[in-house]
Amino acid sequence: MKVAVYYNNHDVRIEDRPIPKPKQGEILVKTKACGVCVADTMEWYLSPRAPLTLGHEPTGIIEKVGSGVTQFKRGGRVAVHHHVPCLICEHCRRGNFTMCSLFRKTHIHPGGFSEYFIASEIHVERDTHLLPDHVSFEAGTLIEPLACVIHAIKKAGIKAGDSVVLIGTGTMGLMFIQSLIYWGVRKLIVYEMLDWRRKKAREFGAGTVLTPLKDSQEEAARLQDLLKLNGADKVIIAAKDISAINLGLRLANKGGTVLFFATPHPDEFIKIYPSHLFFNEITITSTYSADHLDTRMALDLIAKGDVSAEKLITHRYPLENLSDAILQTDSRRESLKCIVKFD
């Protein structure tokens, strides 16, 4: 089988390896599609661990099942989530599944950018999903990223009737727009620097889409005017620029919550004015990844059409061109989701 091995964003090599055999409790999946995530473009995070096989948003057809697998059969169309929790540690007992130490250690093997992959027994047991017939393999690649969006919405405590500011409308931002509408938010104000993405934000249902003003104080005043409130109940920052984070911190109402969703470079930092947080009871929070409850809801929203997954996919690549897909994802040039398609 062909496997893509990542060294850096410009250097991805195709290797030939034997197709693995599923052991007890495992399944072997023939990959049909796999999404390219922004996390697959973060060289500072990936290169020190290279060579490695990426791809954590895969869908495919079950080719073989190991002994003891009863809930899935050969031929099943599935999406597999790459991280699974132990369900019994301190973090899991508190519902913080993404903080479980097993969660980060679990992976599909060798990864989604491979013609076949193995899902382990606990992957099969806890976070492997049959795709309904009308959900395509392509649409299924959006389950994991949408699950991350759902995880963030829950963590921010967003409720029906809230006013929400969203900063950044890449693929994740556009899924936030659709999910927040599903959640019943009362007012949604969206900020985006790029023209093309502002247009997309409107297409995906955002009513008010703004280019942020240079001066964040002036922006806060404009927002107050729009909301007839001192700021938004919840602010989601889905852009990795420090300027976006600084703006977001200005736009929360008293008692509001600001959620950091995108990951800046680890050397970047922000200034915080604790007195502002104190007197206004502002909560700052963030989310990493998504758990097995979020993936179930994500599949549901895609299956029912509350989130239109296929419309988010703008570029499709063969495995051999994975490096191009990574560079396209990183460039933000008129593209949303890039995926790798297999025959």
Cβ closest to Zn ion, residue 165 vs residue 175: 175
The CA-based angle 132-135-137, given to 5 degrees, is 110
Site string for Zn ion, 28-57 (x = CB under 5 A): ---------x--------------------
Residue 245 binds Zn ion, judged by CB under 5 A: no
CA–CA gap between residue 9 and residue 208 (Å, rounded)? 35
Which residues touch 253 (CB under 8 Å, ≥6 apart)?
163, 227, 229, 230, 231, 232, 233
Q: How far is the CB of 56 from Zn ion (least distance, A)?
A: 6
Helix (H, G, I), strand (E, B) or coil at 187: strand
Cβ closest to Zn ion, residue 233 vs residue 294: 294
CB–CB of 251/165 below 8 Å? yes
- Could you tell me which stretch among 23-31, 97-105, 169-177, 230-238 binds Zn ion (CB under 5 A)? 97-105
b/e 101-115 (16+ beta carbons within 10 angstroms → b) = ebbeebbbebbbbbb
CA–CA gap between residue 187 and residue 51 (Å, rounded)? 46
Residue 89 binds Zn ion, judged by CB under 5 A: yes
Question: Taking the CB of residue 221, how many other CB atoms lie within 10 A of it?
Answer: 12
- Could you tell me which stretch among 22-30, 72-80, 93-101, 150-158 binds Zn ion (CB under 5 A)? 93-101
Residue 85 binds Zn ion, judged by CB under 5 A: yes
Residue 66 binds Zn ion, judged by CB under 5 A: no
CB–CB of 289/38 below 8 Å? no
- Could you tell me which stretch among 63-71, 84-92, 113-121, 239-247 binds Zn ion (CB under 5 A)? 84-92
Q: What are 315's two structure tokens? A: 């570029």
Residue 86 binds Zn ion, judged by CB under 5 A: yes
Residue 147 binds Zn ion, judged by CB under 5 A: no
Using CB under 5 A, count the residues that bind Zn ion: 6
Cβ closest to Zn ion, residue 12 vs residue 251: 12
Of the candidates 27, 46, 54, 100, which one interacts with Zn ion according to CB under 5 A? 100
Site string for Zn ion, 248-287 (x = CB under 5 A): ----------------------------------------
Residues in the chain: 343
Q: Rounded to the nearest 10 degrees, how much is the dihedral formed by the CA atoms of 125, 128, 134, 140?
A: 170
Of the candidates 27, 33, 65, 92, which one interacts with Zn ion according to CB under 5 A? 92
Cβ closest to Zn ion, residue 85 vs residue 110: 85
Q: Which residues contact Zn ion by CB under 5 A?
A: 37, 85-86, 89, 92, 100
